[in-house]
Chain A
Protein backbone atom coordinates (compact mmCIF):
# COMPACT_ATOMS: atom_id res chain seq x y z
CA UNK A 1 0.00 0.00 0.00
CA UNK A 2 1.23 3.45 -0.78
CA UNK A 3 2.11 5.54 2.20
CA UNK A 4 3.75 8.91 2.22
CA UNK A 5 6.72 8.83 4.53
CA UNK A 6 6.27 11.86 6.74
CA UNK A 7 8.26 13.26 9.61
CA UNK A 8 6.53 13.10 12.98
CA UNK A 9 7.35 14.26 16.48
CA UNK A 10 8.08 11.35 18.81
CA UNK A 11 8.25 11.67 22.58
CA UNK A 12 10.95 9.91 24.59
CA UNK A 13 9.06 7.58 26.93
CA UNK A 14 12.05 5.87 28.56
CA UNK A 15 15.80 5.47 28.21
CA UNK A 16 17.71 2.36 29.22
CA UNK A 17 21.48 2.01 29.35
CA UNK A 18 22.15 -1.36 27.69
CA UNK A 19 25.95 -1.40 27.69
CA UNK A 20 28.59 1.28 28.37
CA UNK A 21 28.21 2.43 24.74
CA UNK A 22 24.56 1.73 23.91
CA UNK A 23 21.22 3.03 25.10
CA UNK A 24 17.71 2.03 24.14
CA UNK A 25 15.27 4.90 23.57
CA UNK A 26 11.58 4.03 23.75
CA UNK A 27 9.72 6.53 21.58
CA UNK A 28 5.97 7.14 21.66
CA UNK A 29 4.70 7.88 18.16
CA UNK A 30 1.53 9.88 17.42
CA UNK A 31 1.33 8.14 14.00
CA UNK A 32 2.55 4.68 14.83
CA UNK A 33 2.73 2.35 11.81
CA UNK A 34 3.17 -1.43 11.86
CA UNK A 35 6.77 -2.23 10.96
CA UNK A 36 8.56 -5.30 9.65
CA UNK A 37 11.42 -6.63 11.80
CA UNK A 38 14.67 -5.34 10.28
CA UNK A 39 13.28 -1.95 9.28
CA UNK A 40 14.58 1.32 10.64
CA UNK A 41 13.63 4.91 11.38
CA UNK A 42 15.37 8.08 10.30
CA UNK A 43 16.08 10.53 13.14
CA UNK A 44 16.53 14.22 12.28
CA UNK A 45 17.98 16.96 14.46
CA UNK A 46 17.63 20.62 13.56
CA UNK A 47 19.89 23.28 15.06
CA UNK A 48 18.58 26.80 15.79
CA UNK A 49 20.38 28.04 12.64
CA UNK A 50 18.57 25.50 10.48
CA UNK A 51 21.46 23.05 10.11
CA UNK A 52 20.12 19.50 10.00
CA UNK A 53 21.71 16.15 10.75
CA UNK A 54 19.97 12.92 9.89
CA UNK A 55 20.77 9.31 10.77
CA UNK A 56 19.12 5.97 10.33
CA UNK A 57 18.58 3.65 13.33
CA UNK A 58 17.24 0.12 13.35
CA UNK A 59 14.12 -0.74 15.29
CA UNK A 60 14.86 -3.13 18.15
CA UNK A 61 11.28 -3.79 19.25
CA UNK A 62 8.80 -6.26 17.80
CA UNK A 63 5.89 -4.98 15.68
CA UNK A 64 3.45 -6.55 18.11
CA UNK A 65 4.19 -3.68 20.53
CA UNK A 66 1.91 -0.92 19.29
CA UNK A 67 2.15 2.85 19.65
CA UNK A 68 5.86 2.92 20.38
CA UNK A 69 9.23 1.71 19.14
CA UNK A 70 12.61 0.99 20.70
CA UNK A 71 15.70 2.35 18.96
CA UNK A 72 18.98 1.04 20.38
CA UNK A 73 21.71 3.52 19.56
CA UNK A 74 25.46 3.06 19.91
CA UNK A 75 27.31 6.19 20.94
CA UNK A 76 29.84 7.08 18.26
CA UNK A 77 32.71 9.41 19.17
CA UNK A 78 32.00 12.73 17.46
CA UNK A 79 28.77 11.29 16.05
CA UNK A 80 26.46 14.29 15.71
CA UNK A 81 23.20 12.47 16.27
CA UNK A 82 24.20 9.56 18.51
CA UNK A 83 26.11 11.78 20.96
CA UNK A 84 23.16 14.17 21.16
CA UNK A 85 20.84 11.27 21.90
CA UNK A 86 23.20 9.84 24.52
CA UNK A 87 24.18 13.05 26.28
CA UNK A 88 21.30 15.49 25.85
CA UNK A 89 18.07 13.61 25.32
CA UNK A 90 15.97 12.93 28.46
CA UNK A 91 12.57 11.36 29.10
CA UNK A 92 9.79 13.65 27.92
CA UNK A 93 11.89 15.28 25.18
CA UNK A 94 10.61 15.36 21.63
CA UNK A 95 12.52 14.26 18.56
CA UNK A 96 11.76 14.19 14.83
CA UNK A 97 11.53 10.76 13.17
CA UNK A 98 10.20 9.13 10.02
CA UNK A 99 9.62 5.48 9.26
CA UNK A 100 9.38 2.59 9.23
CA UNK A 101 11.70 2.29 6.23
CA UNK A 102 13.30 -0.61 4.36
CA UNK A 103 12.15 -3.69 2.47
CA UNK A 104 15.31 -5.63 1.78
CA UNK A 105 16.72 -6.45 5.19
CA UNK A 106 13.40 -7.58 6.69
CA UNK A 107 11.96 -10.81 8.00
CA UNK A 108 8.49 -11.91 9.00
CA UNK A 109 7.50 -15.14 10.69
CA UNK A 110 5.21 -15.93 7.75
CA UNK A 111 8.28 -16.37 5.52
CA UNK A 112 8.82 -19.86 6.97
CA UNK A 113 12.35 -20.98 6.04
CA UNK A 114 15.04 -21.64 8.72
CA UNK A 115 16.84 -18.48 9.70
CA UNK A 116 20.50 -17.76 10.44
CA UNK A 117 21.21 -14.45 12.14
CA UNK A 118 24.79 -13.18 12.36
CA UNK A 119 25.52 -10.03 14.35
CA UNK A 120 28.64 -7.99 15.00
CA UNK A 121 28.41 -5.46 17.83
CA UNK A 122 25.38 -3.18 17.56
CA UNK A 123 24.45 -5.04 14.37
CA UNK A 124 22.37 -7.19 16.71
CA UNK A 125 19.72 -4.45 16.94
CA UNK A 126 17.59 -5.24 13.84
CA UNK A 127 18.11 -8.96 14.51
CA UNK A 128 16.66 -8.46 18.01
CA UNK A 129 13.45 -7.18 16.42
CA UNK A 130 13.36 -10.41 14.39
CA UNK A 131 13.95 -12.58 17.49
CA UNK A 132 11.34 -10.70 19.54
CA UNK A 133 8.83 -10.96 16.68
CA UNK A 134 9.41 -14.71 16.45
CA UNK A 135 8.72 -15.04 20.19
CA UNK A 136 5.71 -12.69 20.12
CA UNK A 137 3.88 -14.68 17.45
CA UNK A 138 4.87 -18.07 18.92
CA UNK A 139 6.76 -19.10 15.78
CA UNK A 140 8.79 -22.31 15.90
CA UNK A 141 10.80 -21.57 12.73
CA UNK A 142 14.33 -22.85 13.43
CA UNK A 143 16.54 -19.83 14.14
CA UNK A 144 20.20 -19.57 15.12
CA UNK A 145 21.89 -16.36 16.23
CA UNK A 146 25.67 -16.01 16.13
CA UNK A 147 26.60 -12.81 17.95
CA UNK A 148 30.16 -11.46 17.99
CA UNK A 149 31.17 -8.93 20.65
CA UNK A 150 34.49 -7.56 21.82
CA UNK A 151 33.94 -8.24 25.52
CA UNK A 152 31.11 -9.60 27.71
CA UNK A 153 30.13 -6.10 28.82
CA UNK A 154 29.51 -5.14 25.17
CA UNK A 155 26.75 -7.73 24.74
CA UNK A 156 23.48 -5.89 24.19
CA UNK A 157 20.26 -7.56 25.48
CA UNK A 158 22.31 -10.33 27.17
CA UNK A 159 19.76 -11.18 29.89
CA UNK A 160 16.85 -11.22 27.45
CA UNK A 161 18.80 -13.33 24.96
CA UNK A 162 19.62 -15.89 27.68
CA UNK A 163 15.99 -15.99 28.77
CA UNK A 164 14.71 -16.39 25.19
CA UNK A 165 17.23 -19.13 24.45
CA UNK A 166 15.92 -21.12 27.42
CA UNK A 167 12.23 -20.50 26.73
CA UNK A 168 11.84 -20.44 22.94
CA UNK A 169 11.63 -23.75 21.12
CA UNK A 170 13.98 -23.96 18.13
CA UNK A 171 15.99 -20.84 18.98
CA UNK A 172 19.77 -21.27 19.35
CA UNK A 173 22.04 -18.45 20.51
CA UNK A 174 25.82 -18.52 20.23
CA UNK A 175 28.23 -15.87 21.45
CA UNK A 176 31.80 -15.26 20.40
CA UNK A 177 34.21 -12.78 21.98
CA UNK A 178 37.04 -11.19 20.02
CA UNK A 179 38.99 -9.41 22.78
CA UNK A 180 38.04 -10.72 26.18
CA UNK A 181 35.84 -13.67 27.17
CA UNK A 182 33.94 -14.24 30.42
CA UNK A 183 35.82 -16.11 33.15
CA UNK A 184 35.71 -19.85 32.51
CA UNK A 185 34.39 -19.38 28.96
CA UNK A 186 34.90 -22.52 26.89
CA UNK A 187 32.99 -21.56 23.74
CA UNK A 188 33.94 -19.31 20.79
CA UNK A 189 36.58 -16.66 21.49
CA UNK A 190 37.67 -15.43 18.07
CA UNK A 191 36.43 -13.54 15.04
CA UNK A 192 33.69 -15.31 13.12
CA UNK A 193 35.26 -17.76 10.67
CA UNK A 194 34.18 -20.52 8.30
CA UNK A 195 34.32 -23.43 10.82
CA UNK A 196 32.21 -21.39 13.24
CA UNK A 197 29.65 -20.57 10.55
CA UNK A 198 29.55 -24.23 9.53
CA UNK A 199 28.86 -25.36 13.10
CA UNK A 200 26.18 -22.79 13.80
CA UNK A 201 24.46 -23.14 10.41
CA UNK A 202 24.66 -26.95 10.34
CA UNK A 203 21.34 -27.74 12.01
CA UNK A 204 19.53 -25.33 9.65
CA UNK A 205 20.65 -27.01 6.40
CA UNK A 206 21.75 -25.15 3.28
CA UNK A 207 18.30 -23.72 2.55
CA UNK A 208 18.50 -21.30 5.45
CA UNK A 209 17.96 -17.60 4.90
CA UNK A 210 20.80 -15.57 6.42
CA UNK A 211 20.70 -12.04 7.82
CA UNK A 212 24.11 -10.54 8.50
CA UNK A 213 24.45 -7.17 10.23
CA UNK A 214 27.53 -5.47 11.58
CA UNK A 215 30.57 -3.43 10.59
CA UNK A 216 31.53 -3.64 6.91
CA UNK A 217 34.61 -5.83 7.36
CA UNK A 218 32.68 -8.34 9.46
CA UNK A 219 29.75 -8.39 7.02
CA UNK A 220 32.07 -9.01 4.05
CA UNK A 221 33.88 -11.82 5.87
CA UNK A 222 30.67 -13.53 7.00
CA UNK A 223 28.96 -13.24 3.61
CA UNK A 224 32.02 -14.76 1.91
CA UNK A 225 32.17 -17.50 4.57
CA UNK A 226 28.51 -18.38 4.04
CA UNK A 227 29.09 -18.68 0.29
CA UNK A 228 32.01 -21.01 1.03
CA UNK A 229 29.85 -23.34 3.12
CA UNK A 230 27.32 -23.56 0.33
CA UNK A 231 24.62 -21.00 1.10
CA UNK A 232 23.22 -19.39 -2.06
CA UNK A 233 23.97 -15.70 -2.51
CA UNK A 234 20.25 -15.05 -2.99
CA UNK A 235 19.72 -16.34 0.56
CA UNK A 236 22.19 -13.95 2.18
CA UNK A 237 20.98 -10.50 3.16
CA UNK A 238 23.39 -7.99 4.56
CA UNK A 239 23.26 -4.66 6.35
CA UNK A 240 26.36 -2.68 7.19
CA UNK A 241 26.67 -0.58 10.32
CA UNK A 242 29.27 2.11 9.93
CA UNK A 243 31.41 3.25 12.83
CA UNK A 244 30.00 6.69 12.07
CA UNK A 245 27.73 8.01 9.40
CA UNK A 246 24.19 7.25 8.61
CA UNK A 247 23.78 4.35 10.93
CA UNK A 248 25.95 6.01 13.57
Chain B
Protein backbone atom coordinates (compact mmCIF):
# COMPACT_ATOMS: atom_id res chain seq x y z
CA UNK B 1 0.00 0.00 0.00
CA UNK B 2 1.37 3.42 -0.93
CA UNK B 3 1.39 5.84 1.94
CA UNK B 4 1.05 9.58 1.54
CA UNK B 5 3.12 11.14 4.30
CA UNK B 6 1.03 14.29 4.27
CA UNK B 7 -2.29 12.53 4.82
CA UNK B 8 -3.27 13.09 8.44
CA UNK B 9 -5.58 10.08 8.55
CA UNK B 10 -2.83 7.81 7.35
CA UNK B 11 -0.24 9.26 9.67
CA UNK B 12 -2.61 8.59 12.58
CA UNK B 13 -3.44 5.09 11.36
CA UNK B 14 -2.95 2.17 13.74
CA UNK B 15 -3.83 -1.49 13.38
CA UNK B 16 -6.26 -4.03 14.74
CA UNK B 17 -4.07 -4.66 17.78
CA UNK B 18 -5.04 -1.22 19.08
CA UNK B 19 -8.73 -2.19 18.99
CA UNK B 20 -8.22 -5.39 20.98
CA UNK B 21 -9.82 -4.00 24.14
CA UNK B 22 -13.01 -2.86 22.43
CA UNK B 23 -13.27 -6.10 20.43
CA UNK B 24 -12.82 -8.08 23.61
CA UNK B 25 -15.58 -6.07 25.25
CA UNK B 26 -17.95 -6.83 22.35
CA UNK B 27 -17.16 -10.49 21.74
CA UNK B 28 -15.87 -11.48 25.22
CA UNK B 29 -12.97 -13.10 23.39
CA UNK B 30 -9.43 -12.28 22.36
CA UNK B 31 -10.03 -11.27 18.75
CA UNK B 32 -6.73 -9.98 17.29
CA UNK B 33 -5.65 -13.48 16.21
CA UNK B 34 -9.09 -14.26 14.71
CA UNK B 35 -9.11 -14.60 10.91
CA UNK B 36 -11.39 -12.43 8.81
CA UNK B 37 -11.98 -12.41 5.04
CA UNK B 38 -12.34 -9.15 3.13
CA UNK B 39 -15.60 -9.03 1.17
CA UNK B 40 -14.00 -6.85 -1.48
CA UNK B 41 -10.74 -8.57 -2.42
CA UNK B 42 -10.92 -11.90 -0.59
CA UNK B 43 -7.79 -11.32 1.46
CA UNK B 44 -7.76 -13.42 4.62
CA UNK B 45 -5.80 -12.43 7.70
CA UNK B 46 -5.90 -11.87 11.44
CA UNK B 47 -7.91 -8.98 12.87
CA UNK B 48 -4.66 -7.60 14.29
CA UNK B 49 -3.38 -6.99 10.75
CA UNK B 50 -6.27 -4.73 9.70
CA UNK B 51 -5.66 -1.00 9.37
CA UNK B 52 -7.35 0.94 12.17
CA UNK B 53 -8.65 4.49 12.00
CA UNK B 54 -9.62 5.69 15.45
CA UNK B 55 -9.55 9.51 15.24
CA UNK B 56 -13.30 9.70 14.86
CA UNK B 57 -16.47 9.06 16.87
CA UNK B 58 -16.23 5.44 15.74
CA UNK B 59 -13.55 2.91 14.87
CA UNK B 60 -13.00 1.86 11.26
CA UNK B 61 -11.01 -1.27 10.35
CA UNK B 62 -9.86 -1.58 6.75
CA UNK B 63 -8.29 -4.29 4.63
CA UNK B 64 -4.49 -3.76 4.35
CA UNK B 65 -4.55 -4.92 0.72
CA UNK B 66 -7.52 -3.11 -0.88
CA UNK B 67 -8.50 -0.67 1.91
CA UNK B 68 -12.11 -1.81 1.84
CA UNK B 69 -13.94 -1.01 5.10
CA UNK B 70 -14.30 -4.36 6.83
CA UNK B 71 -15.67 -3.38 10.22
CA UNK B 72 -17.11 -0.26 11.81
CA UNK B 73 -17.76 0.15 15.52
CA UNK B 74 -19.65 2.99 17.15
CA UNK B 75 -20.01 3.15 20.92
CA UNK B 76 -22.70 4.98 22.85
CA UNK B 77 -23.10 4.92 26.63
CA UNK B 78 -25.79 2.24 26.23
CA UNK B 79 -24.65 0.12 23.28
CA UNK B 80 -22.24 -0.88 20.57
CA UNK B 81 -23.18 -0.57 16.89
CA UNK B 82 -21.33 -3.04 14.72
CA UNK B 83 -21.25 -2.93 10.89
CA UNK B 84 -19.54 -6.01 9.48
CA UNK B 85 -20.69 -5.71 5.87
CA UNK B 86 -17.12 -5.60 4.62
CA UNK B 87 -16.34 -9.11 5.82
CA UNK B 88 -17.25 -12.43 4.21
CA UNK B 89 -16.71 -14.09 7.55
CA UNK B 90 -15.17 -13.55 10.95
CA UNK B 91 -13.94 -16.60 12.82
CA UNK B 92 -14.64 -16.78 16.55
CA UNK B 93 -12.89 -19.43 18.57
CA UNK B 94 -15.18 -21.58 20.69
CA UNK B 95 -14.47 -21.36 24.40
CA UNK B 96 -14.14 -25.14 24.66
CA UNK B 97 -11.46 -25.06 21.94
CA UNK B 98 -9.46 -22.28 23.58
A and B associate in one complex:
yes
Question: Which residue numbers of A lie inside 8 Å of B, CB to CB?
Answer: 1-2, 4-5, 40, 42, 54, 56, 98-99, 101-105, 216-217, 220, 237-247
A1 surroundings in chain B (CB, below 8 A): 98
B52 surroundings in chain A (CB, below 8 A): 246
Q: Which of B42-50, B66-74, B80-88 contacts A (4 or more CB under 8 A)?
A: B42-50
A242 surroundings in chain B (CB, below 8 A): 11-14, 18
- Select A104's contact among B33, B54, B95, beta carbons within 8 Å: B33
Question: Which residue numbers of B lie inside 8 Å of A, CB to CB?
Answer: 1, 3, 5, 10-21, 24-25, 28-33, 46-49, 52, 54-55, 95, 98
* A56 and B21 contact, CB distance less than 8 A: yes
A56 surroundings in chain B (CB, below 8 A): 17-18, 20-21
- Select A217's contact among B3, B15, B20, beta carbons within 8 Å: B3
Please, how many angstroms separate the alpha-carbon atoms of A239 and B19 in the complex? 12
Specify the chain A residue showing the minimal Cβ separation from B53.
A245
11 contacts between A and B (CB under 8 A): A2-B29, A40-B20, A56-B17, A56-B20, A102-B17, A103-B30, A104-B16, A104-B48, A240-B14, A245-B55, A247-B18
- Select B49's contact among A2, A98, A104, A244, beta carbons within 8 Å: A104
- Select B13's contact among A5, A42, A54, A240, beta carbons within 8 Å: A240
* B49 and A245 contact, CB distance less than 8 A: no
* B11 and A239 contact, CB distance less than 8 A: no
Please, how many angstroms separate the alpha-carbon atoms of A217 and B1 in the complex? 10
Please, how many angstroms separate the alpha-carbon atoms of A176 and B46 in the complex? 30
Please, how many angstroms separate the alpha-carbon atoms of A105 and B98 in the complex? 17
Specify the chain B residue showing the minimal Cβ separation from A58.
B17
| Chain B nearest CB, measured from A155 CB (Å) | 23
Please, how many angstroms separate the alpha-carbon atoms of A190 and B49 in the complex? 27
| Chain B nearest CB, measured from A25 CB (Å) | 18
Contacts A220-B3, A245-B55, A246-B18 given; 11 further ones with Cβ under 8 A?
A2-B28, A2-B29, A101-B21, A102-B48, A104-B33, A105-B48, A217-B5, A238-B15, A240-B13, A245-B54, A246-B54
